[in-house]
Structure 1
Amino acid sequence: MNIMQLTVFREVMETGSISQAARQLGRTQPAISLAIKNLEKALDLTLFERRGRRLIPSQEAQYLFVEAEGILDRMNIVSKTMKSLQSAEAGSLNIAAMPGPSTFIFPKFVSENVETHTNFQTTITSRSSQQIRELASTQSIDFGFADFHPPAGKEQRYSAEIVRANCFCAVPSDHHLAKKDIVSIADLDNEPIGTLHPDHPFPRRLAFLFQQENATFKSNIAGQFFLPLIPFISLGHCCSVVDPLTVVTERELNISKSKVVFIPFDAPIRYEYATLTPSYRPSSKHATQVKEAWMSSLFEMLEDIDANPTVHGTSFKIA
């Protein structure tokens, strides 16, 4: 039993005629008769009683007709859905971003670049960078945006498009460094520094850079991501070395009410982001378009603040 036989059978049931079914399907009468005969042979059942030119369906045919309609209607829906996915007209988009970007700039971008009609479902998840790597590795998202961390020898089933950009020194607007056009690590010697949690590699990297400059790294406030540090900086509790997207977000939201100043470093401190794509999850046309648009938007945002973004390891496959 195959799809063509079921299609012919349904048409014969609906028209009650071999000749009419042949006209509807654009086939010859012998071809329709043969399809019915082969279907009866495959099922080892008599589906129609022939009375002259009339075909009288058996009880088994009535049951098969209901089942055949369900199967063929479902096949038709699947076919239309796949065509819609190819043309980006329907389907779903499941994406994730790390805290910070997921607060504003990532949802803002998505809202401007996703389908808005009822046939499309968009899900945005905020997760830690480690969780996003796990989601990408288990093929659970279309793509994710996270801090880039090199793999630790464990097999990862995703590719990473890595973007590097310059960090900024964030200081209170009344701080003595606020009037400088450029700062150095040495300028932050013994200053209270707000940074990320100790389990993040960035504070360790900062401590190393301070050590190289014979400067004291004094961390007094730590957060899961940079944005929660902005109120502390604005009130003069600390300075910080922040990633460039925090600068973009603060300029959009003005959390500090203009009480935080961002200054570039004389020797750039680079921050690494990664857009992660599962290696084995089929990507719809729309998901691909949105990811490509995100990479373009990311570059534009980073260029607008003179963070000098560069791409490294495009489609870098970790597997």
Structure 2
Amino acid sequence: MHTQLSPRQLEAFLAVVEHGSMTRASQALEISQPAVSRLIADLTEALGFALFDRRDGRLVPTQEARFLLPDIRRSLDLLTRISETGRNITQNKAGELRIACLPGFAISHLPEVLAVFLEQRAGVRVTIEPDRPERILEWMVGEQFDVGITDGFEGHPAVESETIDIRTVCIFPQGHPLRRHTVIRPRDLADLKLIHTRRESMFYRLLSEAFVADGKSLNTFIEARQFTTACEFVRRGMGVSVISELDAAQYIGRGIEFRPFAPVIPHRLSLVRPIHKHPSMIALEFLEIFMSSLQAYAIHPDRSEI
């Protein structure tokens, strides 16, 4: 039965092939000549055939050894790559990150954050899967993704979450009369075509309550699942909408203007991950960076909001 080969034996073999002598190989490897001789002897015994012939004062590989050369080179190259990858993982420069998110994020804020995040992490592979909140929750419970970006999350024993409330604004087509307002209230929108999120969402319920409290009713024109969809309708002059400032900011200079909306209606975002799946350092770093990217749009309880 052959003994296990060691990387050091293979390195010694290649060094002797390249330098033609045990002495020069030992100098290249920065070990003693007897140590090289021992490694070659052990490798010869393990393989069961001679590795070198002596010709004109040089050691040259036998025919059998030459046959092995390509595999030995590939093996050592692979070990080098494994070592480099290991170092990159330790330094959080390599790994895999699977993100489930709301569809709007996949084409707006997320690419911007990932571009910065991956700039110093070229070895990180990212998978992004957009879907509705219900599906994102299923994936988190099933531990199919590392991170989820969702809204309307009401808690689950198998999911850990961090929540942030994002300010909302009223968006309208560029040049619209609403631009004269410094703050827009429900009464200012009563006679306008309103584009809003789906009726079963918490955000819609809060918006509807704000209109009722102001003695007005929603003039529904289009119901859209995503804020980004509402933006596309508004920029084409089809109505106005109340959405997250985070989404509105992506349309600055693209045919949309916006103003603060009062009363304050938070768009509650949750960053979620499977509670029983040990998070990678890459995932934790991403969560920290993504949460930081939201702070400029967050409602801060210690600050005066409109």
Q: TM-score normalized by structure 2?
A: 0.68
Q: CA deviation at 1:149?
A: 1.8
The residue aligned with 2:292 is 296
The answer to whether structure 1 residue 127 and structure 2 residue 123 are counterparts is: no
Of 224-233 and 7-16, the range deviating more from structure 2:
224-233
Question: How far, CA to CA, are the matches of 1:111 and 1:231 in structure 2?
Answer: 24
Q: How many residues align?
A: 291
Q: TM-score normalized by structure 1?
A: 0.66
1:248 corresponds to which letter in structure 2?
A: A
Question: How far, CA to CA, are the matches of 1:122 and 1:277 in structure 2?
Answer: 18
Alignment of 1:1-319 (within 5 A): 1-43=5-47, 45-48=48-51, 55=59, 57-84=61-88, 98-111=102-115, 114-115=118-119, 125=128, 127-130=130-133, 145-147=149-151, 149-152=153-156, 155-156=158-159, 160-170=161-171, 173-174=176-177, 179=181, 181=183, 183=185, 193-198=194-199, 200-204=201-205, 206=207, 216=217, 219-230=220-231, 240-250=241-251, 252-256=252-256, 258=257, 261-266=258-263, 268-276=264-272, 279-280=277-278, 282-284=280-282, 292-300=288-296, 302=297, 307-309=298-300
1:225 corresponds to which letter in structure 2?
A: Q
Q: Is contact 1:147–1:272 with CA below 8 Å preserved after alignment?
A: yes
Q: CA deviation at 1:28?
A: 2.1
Question: How far, CA to CA, are the matches of 1:31 and 1:190 in structure 2?
Answer: 90
Question: How far, CA to CA, are the matches of 1:245 and 1:201 in structure 2?
Answer: 18
Q: Is contact 2:88–2:123 with CA below 8 Å preserved after alignment?
A: no
Aligned sequence identity (%) = 24
Of 71-80 and 129-138, the range deviating more from structure 2:
129-138
**Root-mean-square deviation over aligned CA pairs:** 4.5
CA distance change for structure 1 residues 232 and 18 in 2, over 3 Å: closer, same or farther?
closer
2:255 corresponds to which letter in structure 1?
A: I
Residues 284-309 of structure 1: CA deviation (Å, up to 9, x unaligned): 4xx76665444333212x1xxxx524
Q: CA deviation at 1:72?
A: 0.4
Q: CA deviation at 1:273?
A: 1.7
Question: How far, CA to CA, are the matches of 1:224 and 1:167 in structure 2?
Answer: 16
Q: Is contact 2:109–2:250 with CA below 8 Å preserved after alignment?
A: yes
Question: How far, CA to CA, are the matches of 1:122 and 1:299 in structure 2?
Answer: 26
Question: How far, CA to CA, are the matches of 2:141 and 2:62 in structure 1?
Answer: 53
Residues 52-106 of structure 1: CA deviation (Å, up to 9, x unaligned): 9765544332223221111002222332344455557778877665343444444
CA distance change for structure 1 residues 234 and 25 in 2, over 3 Å: closer, same or farther?
closer
Higher relative contact order (CA 8 A, sep 6+): 1
Instruction: Structure 1: state its 5+ residue gaps.
Output: 311-319
Of 15-24 and 234-243, the range deviating more from structure 2:
234-243
Residues 99-123 of structure 1: CA deviation (Å, up to 9, x unaligned): 4344444434444564299x66876
Q: CA deviation at 1:217?
A: 5.3
Question: How far, CA to CA, are the matches of 2:271 and 2:193 in structure 1?
Answer: 32
Question: How far, CA to CA, are the matches of 2:235 and 2:60 in structure 1?
Answer: 85
Question: How far, CA to CA, are the matches of 2:45 and 2:71 in structure 1?
Answer: 18
Q: Is contact 1:142–1:283 with CA below 8 Å preserved after alignment?
A: no
